[in-house]
């Protein structure tokens, strides 16, 4: 056995596991802290705040009597409130009776003896904190990256092979190859996206184009590269492109010997490949290399809100130059964070509906192995990408917990809604049966998603 040869694979596995544990722990900590802090504000005492399950690795008790702990199995966490029987906040009848015997007034400090509003607020706070975290992270990233200035202005020209350019930083782009740039007056993001797609489709298929630019107050003509060259802007985790070894910044010069100059040519060839392997000639930092890539059938959202199935490799395009940016204000950044989080919620619900309707494959559901692989892949792309990935996962976790399944937060909220209408909670026996059914359903979904990771 080549033990030395296994070391890089073992190191990659450890890196993937570490990234997954960090991502999950951050999301769980935010979610459970939402339950804890709103419960505390509502007068409900938390006995245990745990990150992970199983044997306790570290713990301490604070001045309020809450034990904070980190457990061995980092696959979730929980807050156990006074009167809870377990991490799912089941009612501990014996404990409640003992609390009543000692001091009836202490029932108000239990999860099951608190007013309905306090229980509902405490339960809803977990998913809410996940959404708030995502919004804030996306807002900070947007402020860090900046928004392109209007009109579009050159900041830094990319190094592309076989292309001469007379563009300069500070040039304001008016048209490319005789095609005017889309304006900035759009009624919706979908209209803006459609305008840029029309612009891309109208560009001449040439490696070098004429640019009309404003420079020092005068309109001049400059030469520059294809506006959307066959440049890899980013690589999707767990995609065909990642498996083939493509990296951000790579320029694809040819596919199966056929020269290409624009990203839309790459897209057309991949979509028409019928899944056959493609041999790519790739320029990377001054060197040429060949990569063999096999497109995959992928369900992708459409601008109209539905889904379409096409052959994909998992790359996003890059521009010929980096645009000049400006730092958006806090309100604009928060608006972007809300919009991004809302888009994730909408696409998740839309994808789930299309899977139930049989319009797209259920292989789109990833389990712990898939999420771990994605965590490691995104972490390798840099801290900002990893933080953005955590924000996406946080939204997904918040949404999942709102599903009306007993044992999840959404199930508890349904019980509270019933109590508000009926004037009394469901009986303990009914709750036990429903909780058992909910846990069974959750375990079944976990097994299903794990089978997707292994066999899809």
Distant-in-sequence, close-in-space partners of 239: CB < 8 Å, separation ≥ 6: 296, 312, 313, 314, 315
Q: How far apart are CA 141 and CA 328, in angstroms?
A: 11
| Catalytic residue selected from 32, 150, 191, 308 | 32
Distant-in-sequence, close-in-space partners of 428: CB < 8 Å, separation ≥ 6: 91, 93
Q: What is the DSSP string of 348-360?
A: HHHHHHHHHTTSS
Taking a C-beta distance cutoff of 8 angstroms, is the pair 70, 58 a contact? yes
Q: What is the DSSP string of 263-330?
A: HHHHHHHHHTSTT--EEEEEEETTEEEEEEE--EEEEEE-TTSSEEEEEE--EEE--SEEEPEEPPPH
Taking a C-beta distance cutoff of 8 angstroms, is the pair 371, 394 a contact? no
Taking a C-beta distance cutoff of 8 angstroms, is the pair 87, 35 a contact? no
Which of 345, 349, 346, 398 is closest to 123 using CA atoms? 398
Burial profile 394-415: b = 16 or more Cβ within 10 angstroms, e = fewer: bbbbbbbbbbebbbbbbbbbbb
Angle between helices 116-145 and 330-356 (to 10 degrees): 110
Find how far residue 203's CA is from the centre of its chain: 32
Taking a C-beta distance cutoff of 8 angstroms, is the pair 416, 116 a contact? yes
What's the token pair of residue 238? Answer: 């767990």
Catalytic annotation present for 32: yes
Q: Nearest 10 degrees: CA dihedral of 381, 386, 391, 397?
A: 100
**Which residue numbers are catalytic?**
32
């Amino acid at each position: 056995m080549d033990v030395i040869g296994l070391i890089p694979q073992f190191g990659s596995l450890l890196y993937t596991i570490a990234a997954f544990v960090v991502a999950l722990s951050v999301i769980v900590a935010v979610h459970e802290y939402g339950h804890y802090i709103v419960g505390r504000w509502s007068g409900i005492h938390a006995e245990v705040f745990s990150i992970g399950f199983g044997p306790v690795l570290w713990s301490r008790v604070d001045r309020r009597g809450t034990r904070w702990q980190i457990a061995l199995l980092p696959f979730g966490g929980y807050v156990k409130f006074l009167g809870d029987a377990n991490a799912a906040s089941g009612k501990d009848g014996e404990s409640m009776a003992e609390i009543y015997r000692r001091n009836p007034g202490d029932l108000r400090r239990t999860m099951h003896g608190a007013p309905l509003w306090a229980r509902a607020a405490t339960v809803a706070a977990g998913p809410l904190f996940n959404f708030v975290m995502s919004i804030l992270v996306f807002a900070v990233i947007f402020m860090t990256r900046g928004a392109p200035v209007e009109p579009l202005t050159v900041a830094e020209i990319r190094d592309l092979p076989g292309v001469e350019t007379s563009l300069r930083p500070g040039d304001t782009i008016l048209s490319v190859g005789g095609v005017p740039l889309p304006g900035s007056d759009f009624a919706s993001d979908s209209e803006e996206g459609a305008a840029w797609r029309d612009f891309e489709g109208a560009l001449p298929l040439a490696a070098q184009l004429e640019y009309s630019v404003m420079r020092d107050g005068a309109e001049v003509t400059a030469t520059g590269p294809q506006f959307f060259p066959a440049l890899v802007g980013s690589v999707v985790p767990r995609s065909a492109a990642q498996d083939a070894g493509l990296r951000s910044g790579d320029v694809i010069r040819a596919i199966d010997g056929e020269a290409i100059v624009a990203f839309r040519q790459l897209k057309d060839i991949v979509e028409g490949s019928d899944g056959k392997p493609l041999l790519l000639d790739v320029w990377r930092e001054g060197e040429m290399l060949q990569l063999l890539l096999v497109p995959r059938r992928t369900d992708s959202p459409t601008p109209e809100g539905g889904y379409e199935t096409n052959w994909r490799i998992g790359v996003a395009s890059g521009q010929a130059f980096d645009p000049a940016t400006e730092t958006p204000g806090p309100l604009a950044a928060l608006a972007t964070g809300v919009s991004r989080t809302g888009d994730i919620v909408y696409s998740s619900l839309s994808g789930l509906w299309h899977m139930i309707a049989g319009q797209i494959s259920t292989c789109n559901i990833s389990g712990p192995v898939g999420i771990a692989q994605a965590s490691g892949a995104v972490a390798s792309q840099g801290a900002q990408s990893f933080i953005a990935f955590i924000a996406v996962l946080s939204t997904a976790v918040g949404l999942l917990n709102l599903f009306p399944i007993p044992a999840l937060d959404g199930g508890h909220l349904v019980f509270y809604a019933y109590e508000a209408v009926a004037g009394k909670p469901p009986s303990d026996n009914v709750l036990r049966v429903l909780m058992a059914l909910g846990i069974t359903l959750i375990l079944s979904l976990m097994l299903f998603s794990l089978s997707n990771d292994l066999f899809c």
